[in-house]
Homo-oligomer: A and B are copies of this chain.
Amino acid sequence: MTTKNFQQALNEEFSQQTYGENPPELYEPIRYLMSLGGKRLRPMMTLMATALFTDDWQKAVKPASAVEVFHNFTLMHDDIMDNAPLRRGKPTVHEKWNANIAILSGDVMLVQAYELLMEVEDSRFKKAMKRFNRTAAEVCEGQQLDMNFESRENVTEAEYLEMIKLKTSVLLGYALELGGIIGGASDKSCELLYEVGINIGLGFQLKDDLLDVYGDPEKFGKQVGGDIISNKKTYMLIEAIEKATGETKESLNYWLNAKEFDNAEKVKAVTEIYDKLGIKQLAEAKINAYFDKGLECLAKLKVEDERKTELKAFAEMLIDREV
C-alpha cells in the first residue's frame, strides 16, 4: 500500500482503457488527450482515500479513473472555450482536429466517465453518483464564472475564491470523498475527506497563482509571469488592485492598460509592485492556512494514524511543490 503501487495500478488501468473505435474522429481525440499524461493527482487521491478504510483499494481503480476521465473531459471543452493552442505542451484537440470534434469527443468522454463510475459496488453507487453529479455541475459553474470574470473590471477576493473552489477544488474534494464512499467510510468521514480535498485544492490553486509569479524559471514548466502578461485576474492581481494606492496604484493601472509593452519589462514591473505590497507573503499565508485546514480535517478523521501516512505525504508534496 504505497504511492508507487497506486501509481502502477493507475498506469495499468489507463494503458488498458480503449475508449472506442468507430468513427475514429470521435474516439481518437480521447486516446490522444489521455495519452498526454498529467500527474493523475485526482485518481491517486481516490485510491489513497479508499486505502484509509480497506486494504482492498484495487476495487477503487476503475471508479478513480472516472474522475481522471471527467477531468480530461473538462480540459477538452475548456480548451475550446479558452481558445488554448496547447495542453501539456502539445496541440489541443480543437487545434489538432477541430472544435466540432472536440465538442463531440468531450461529450463521449463525459459518458465514459459515468460508465467507469458504474464500477462502484451497487450498494454505494447511487451515493457516489449523486455526489459526482453535483460536483460535475459545480465544475461547469466554475468555468462559467471564470469566463464571466474575464470581461469584468473588478473581481473581489471572495468571488475569486468561490470560482476556484468550484472550478478546481470540488473535484479534488470529490476524488477523496469517492475513495471514502468506496472504502465504506461513514457519512461523517466522507464529509471530512471532502473538506480535506476542498482546502488542499484551494491551497493548490493559489500556489499555482503564486508560482506563476515567483516560480523558479529553471524548474517551472511554463513561462514565469504568463498571468501578469495577460492581465489574468489571479489571487495576486486581485489583492494588488485592492491594496495599491497612490503612485503604486497609478503604476499598476499603467501596466494593466498598456497595449504595447516588453513582456519581461511588464513582468518585472508588476512583480515589483507585488513585492512592495507584500502580495507574496499574503498569498503564502493564505496558502498555508488552506493547507493547514486540510491537514486538520485529515487529523480529525477517525482512522489509525499509520494509515494516513501516504495521504499526508501526498498533501505535503502538493504543499512543497515548486512546479
Which residues of A line the B interface, CB within 8 A? 20, 22-23, 25-26, 77, 80-81, 99-101, 103-104, 106-108, 110-112, 114-115, 118, 122, 125-126, 129-130, 133, 136-137, 140-141, 143-145, 147-148
Contacts and interface: CB of A to CB of B under 8 A. Distances in A.
B118 A137 contact: no
A144 B23 contact: yes
18 contacts: A20-B137, A23-B145, A25-B144, A25-B148, A77-B103, A99-B99, A100-B147, A103-B103, A104-B140, A107-B107, A111-B133, A111-B136, A111-B137, A112-B133, A114-B129, A118-B129, A118-B130, A125-B126
Contacts of A25: 144, 148
A148 B77 CA distance: 21
A107 B147 CA distance: 15
> Which label, helix, strand, loop or mixed, suits the secondary structure of the A interface?
helix
Contact of A77 (B81, B107, B112): B107
Nearest to A111: B136
Contacts of A136: 108, 111
Contacts of A77: 103-104, 107
